[in-house]
Amino acid sequence: MKKYIILIPLLLISLVSFSQTRTVSGIVTNIDTGEALPGVSILIKGTTNGTYSNFDGEYSLSNVSAEQIIEISYLGFESKEVLANRASINIQLKENVQELDGVVLIGYGSQIIKEVTGAVTIVDSEAIEKIKPTRVEEALQGQAGISVTPSSGSPGSAPKINIRGISTNGDSRPLILLDGAVIEDLSVVNPSDIASMSVIKDATAGIYGVRGANGVILITTKSGRKNSDLKFRFDAYTGIQQTTKKMDLLQPRDYAILVNEAAANGGDSPVFTLYPTTGTDWQDQVFKNAPISSVNFGLNGGTTKSNYDFSISHLTQDGIVGGDKSNFNRSTARLNYSIDLVKNLKLSTTTTYINTNRKILSENALGSVLFNALSAPPQLLVRDTNGDYTKLPNTGLGIEVVNPLAQIENTYNQSQVNKISGSYGLNYRFLEYFQAESNIQLNYADVRGKSYFPELFYGSGKVFNTVSSEAELTDDVNSATVDESGTVYKDYTFDAFIKYERKFDKHDIKALLGTSIFKTVGVNLYNKKGYAPTGNTLKSASVENSATVDDNLAINNTPKISFDSRLLSYFTRIQYAYDGKYLASAVLRRDGSTNFGPKNKFGFFPTASVGWVVSEEDFMKDVSFINLLKLRSSYGVLGNDRIGAYGFVSLLDGEGVYVLDNALTYGKTIGKLSNPEIRWEKQKPFDIAIDLGLFDKIDITVDYFNKKTEDLLVTPQVSGILGVYAPGSGAPTINAGTVENKGFEFSIGYNEKISEDFNFNVKYNITSLKNEVLFVGSDTGVLESGSFGVGQDPIARMEAGKPIGYFYGYKTNGVFQTQAEIDGAPIQLDAEPGDLRFVDVSGDGKIDADDKTDLGNPIPDFTMGFNMSVDYKNFDFSLYAFASLGNDIVRDYERNLPLVNRPTYFLDRWTSEGTSNSFPRVTTEATQNSLFSDFYVEDGSYLRLQNIQLGYTVPESLTTKIKLDKVRLYASATNLLTLTNYRGYDPTASTGEPIGGGIDRGFYPTPKTFFVGVNVNF
């Protein structure tokens, strides 16, 4: 009986305990906006009992006792713990700005940076705000592993972006997504609209398949928040642009002395009997202070079920060369709108309209405006005694050197782009752990171009003349012409995928399965040339009012559809994390492209990445100064199909000319040679890295990367016997090359809040890069490109064992001082004292083509970025600098003719024995001094102060009186200072081409700009 008496209280205790277990439920919301938060992790502390909030923020947890603790965590919000002492517990979470900064877009999703296993660079809106870029690319310059090469400093010019080196000699552009929609050109993006940018640099870009082989740039624009009031923002700035440099050219007297000396050395009569002392500084005439201004207006807000953000902007920029003849303006309008249609179903939309107008001048080429400003004789005046533009002589100057002021005035052209981009998606949450999402992305661009060529006579024999004599300018014959063209580019991308996300015990699993369809089409609307138009301006002259018109599309039998390319893809990704310590991700993607034939149309591309958060281990708990220590690595295979469409089959798109009934008839013939065996270009990127955080103040990242590209898609040199030089024909595309890029990235950042009024932040990064061609599959083992001077062989090469695009020419060893030196040296034809001495590299006792060798390359060995920001009370200051070390530039802006002007370094020329051993004599006779050699190759290393800005935020006590939330005034300068030994205009000079980049033919310099601006929120 005693047994049962003892058991009764034990039974009662257990019954009471059981009765205290309950179901706890509630809603999770944003404390500031009241917005319901879906996908919030709800977990009983120390157990595996957990769940996620649904689309409406609702959650329910069973088997919960009153003394247990509920842990709540959500990406971008502060974590929270509450006691489970009630059956109904509503939870409010506060946004964590630092946590939000740590959110990274990774493709079809996001992660907190702690769990990212790939190499990702993040640029936030604050960084963009401080740089005030006119183009988005400027905000990426100086970021670790990202190279931004300006193609020109002219307004609207598009820089080239390479991520971790040049991996192909074809199209090396990264994939760019704006709110999930693919865009080809960053000029259509208003930088002020950007909330954040993520750049994926390694194999984890494989989730985007073929289009992500060269890296991925993910741009997220600003959006409103639910349950928030209508807010407005206004940003505006205006500024003046100036050239960063004018080259030191010979003054009229020194010029005349040099011209006569060259004539005497060549056995010719002197050109000048009196030395002139006055003339024209052609650079002063060409370079102008140019205005730039930008205005942005936006609004955002939200209701209980929707949020929105709308913005409009306008940018206008004149050129420092040519003023409004070199102009770019951009107008944009953007609307982001999201709404909860029904329970668990959300619609997200982004619509953007862009209008750009651009006028350009000839640049970076023989006969370009700056080339002519450097070459024009300095003793001549801009205008003659009649008030007309002075005509430059033909003899001794070349047929392409004309009066640059007349050239600017007589240039009439404009290109206009109207583009609409949209992304529209539905997201549906179901069965607690699943999401289904579909997105349609559309781009439509209407591109129109127009050029007017009035009757022009720049002087006898000039190549830009449209009439053969000055008398024809006043006769009754109208020789003016006008060109007009129109093209439409259309593409769409449809993505559909299912996500599965679940946490249980210490496991966190995310799975993705989807498909993607892409199609892009180019449509030729018209391409016409009108003769003798009645108007005499760009606006009034047109094809419609021309006397006769050529329809170029009809004459050349050009098809209406210029290209039609398509992709079909299937992809899956699995991400796994155990206890927040051990991370893994694997992607498999199958891509099919119409650019390849039936045998090679589809390819499988797997990628994988792993990570270990060492700082979460128990043995690290007592190491208080390390707040993050993570090891990560990635590897994979990515495909690339960026070649022309249908290269695997012969097309009738060549130009055929036939004689029928004794008359020429234009028809069609086989165009570019086909290659049915072409296959995917494959990139194999490997990355291993360490992420380290110290004292909650210092962040360090070190990456080693090795990216090998195999089966490069190239166009080889082939024999003319195959007909490749016929109109419309060309060499086939083949797989014939392997390139490797490897190096290190190191970045360190320090953030210190010294007091409530004083914050300090500094960041530095350095990237090393070694580029090497491992294999070239052409008959000669070489691919060539890049011109120099007139009539010389290509100077840039792709060859095994060398960097891609290295310079190939003669190496010099000083200047011959005497005839005895010439007699004792290897045979060098026509050499005289004062000529460059070439090195006999082959050792055969003579100087010939076999002695050409590696003279350097345009790829930098190191790039560095440095930025610093200081906030003190209402003042903020930021500074940003960038450096490039080890890149070479070819100087090709010096025309080798008797009467062109010269830079002042020609004063250091050889004149007699012992006067110079580095600069050859001047002469009018033919010499080998003009052959491409290291004499024309210079170190292009530089350090540039890219941006400096000082701002002041008006105290809130004053702004609230005029019902404004925030007013900030600032002054800024960009491209303020460049330290370099390069003697040309700009050490960033390059076309950006893989083979043939780094050649300066009168590069339009990147301007120096001074801004003042204002930011207003209300």
Torsion angle, alpha carbons of 49, 52, 57, 62, to 10: -20
Residue 7: band (very low, low, confident or very high) from pLDDT cuts 50, 70, 90? very low
d(C-alpha 705, C-alpha 686), whole Å: 6
Compute the distance between CA of residue 160 and CA of residue 786 in angstroms, rounded to an integer: 17
What percent of the chain is predicted at pLDDT more than 70?
A: 95
Q: Is the pLDDT of residue 477 over 60?
A: yes
Helix (H) or strand (E) holding 775: strand 770-776
Residue with the two structure tokens 């990456």: 703
DSSP 8-state class, residue 673: P
Query: What amino acid occupies position 713?
Result: L
State the pLDDT at residue 20.
Answer: 64
Banded model confidence at residue 84, pLDDT cuts 50, 70, 90: confident
3-state secondary structure of 97: helix
Computed from CA positions of residues 11, 12, 13, 17, in that sequence, does the dihedral angle turn out positive or negative?
A: positive
- What is the helix (H) or strand (E) element at residue 99, kind and residue range? helix 97-101
Name the least confident of 124-133, 370-379, 676-685, 719-728: 719-728
- pLDDT at position 744 over 70: yes
66 Cβ neighbours under 8 A, 6+ residues apart: 20, 22, 83, 84, 85
Q: How many domains does the chain have?
A: 1
pLDDT of 924 higher than 70: yes
Q: pLDDT grade, residue 210 (50/70/90)?
A: confident
Cβ atoms of residues 837 and 730 within 8 Å:
no
What whole-number distance in Å separates Cα of residue 316 and Cα of residue 314?
7
Q: Which domain holds residue 28?
A: 19-93
Q: Are 840 and 826 in contact (CB under 8 A)?
A: yes
User: What was the pLDDT predicted at 376?
Assistant: 94
Residue 793's contacts (CB-CB under 8 Å, 6 or more residues apart) are 784
Q: Which of 516, 549, 251 is nearest to 378 (CA)?
A: 251
Question: What's 76's domain CATH number?
Answer: 2.60.40.1120
Mean pLDDT, residues 639-651 taken together:
80
Which of 40-44, 696-700, 849-853 is predicted with the least confidence, judged by mean pLDDT?
Answer: 40-44
Q: Residue 516: inside a domain, yes or no?
A: no
Higher-confidence residue of 313 and 221: namely 313
User: What is the distance between the alpha carbons of residues 144 and 749, in angstroms, rounded to a whole number?
Assistant: 12
Residue 311 domain-assigned (yes or no): no
Confidence check: pLDDT of 1 > 50 = no
Mean pLDDT of all residues in 326-343: 92
Phi, psi of 19 (to 5 degrees): -70, -20
pLDDT tier at 220, thresholds 50, 70, 90 = confident
**Better pLDDT: 236 or 34:** 236
Asked whether residue 60 is assigned to any structural domain, the reply reads yes
User: What mean pLDDT is predicted for residues 428-454?
Assistant: 92
* Strands, E assignment, 781-858: 782-785, 796-799, 806-809, 812-815, 836-838, 853-854
pLDDT digits 0-9 by tens, 32-76:
766 777 778 888 887 767 787 876 778 888 888 888 888 887 766
- pLDDT tens, 993-1010? 888 888 988 888 989 999
Would residue 874 count as lying in a domain?
no
CA nearest to 782, candidates 749, 763, 806 = 806
pLDDT in the model for residue 176: 85
CA pseudo-torsion sign 529, 534, 536, 541? negative
Per-residue confidence at 161, pLDDT binned at 50, 70, 90? Answer: confident
Higher-confidence residue: 128 or 488? 488
Position 725 scores a pLDDT of 66
Q: Which two tokens stand for residue 76?
A: 């971008």
Q: What is the pLDDT of residue 9?
A: 45
Residue 739's pLDDT band (cuts 50, 70, 90): very high
Give the model's pLDDT for residue 6: 45
Question: Above 70 in pLDDT, residue 4?
Answer: no
* pLDDT in the model for residue 104: 67
Query: Which of 267-281, 422-436, 726-740, 958-972 shows the lowest per-residue confidence on average (mean pLDDT)?
Result: 726-740
3-state secondary structure 398-461: CCCCCCHHHHHHCCEEEEEEEEEEEEEEEEEEECCCEEEEEEEEEEEEEEEEEEEECCCCCCCC
Bridge partners of 565?
520
pLDDT at 13 over 60: no
Task: Give the pair of three-digit tokens for residue 834.
Answer: 């004062």
The pLDDT of residue 12 is 38
Q: Mean per-residue pLDDT for 873-878?
A: 91
On whether residue 35 sits in a domain, the answer given is yes
Closest CA to 561 of 653, 625, 465, 630: 653
- Is residue 317 in a domain? no
Cα four-point dihedral sign 881, 885, 889, 893 = positive
- Average pLDDT value for the chain: 87
**What per-residue confidence (pLDDT) applies to 671?**
73
750 within a domain of the structure (yes/no) = no
Which range in 206-220, 488-502, 553-567, 984-998 is most confidently predicted, on average pLDDT? 488-502
- List the single range of 242-246, 511-515, 636-640, 658-662 with lowest mean pLDDT: 658-662
Q: Pairing relation of β-strands 758-768 and 862-872? A: antiparallel
Give a yes or no: residue 75 inside a domain: yes
Looking at residue 14, its pLDDT comes to: 40
By three-state DSSP, how is residue 343 classified? coil
- Categorize the per-residue pLDDT at 769 as very low, low, confident or very high, splitting at 50, 70 and 90: very high
Least confident of 19-23, 150-154, 226-230: 19-23
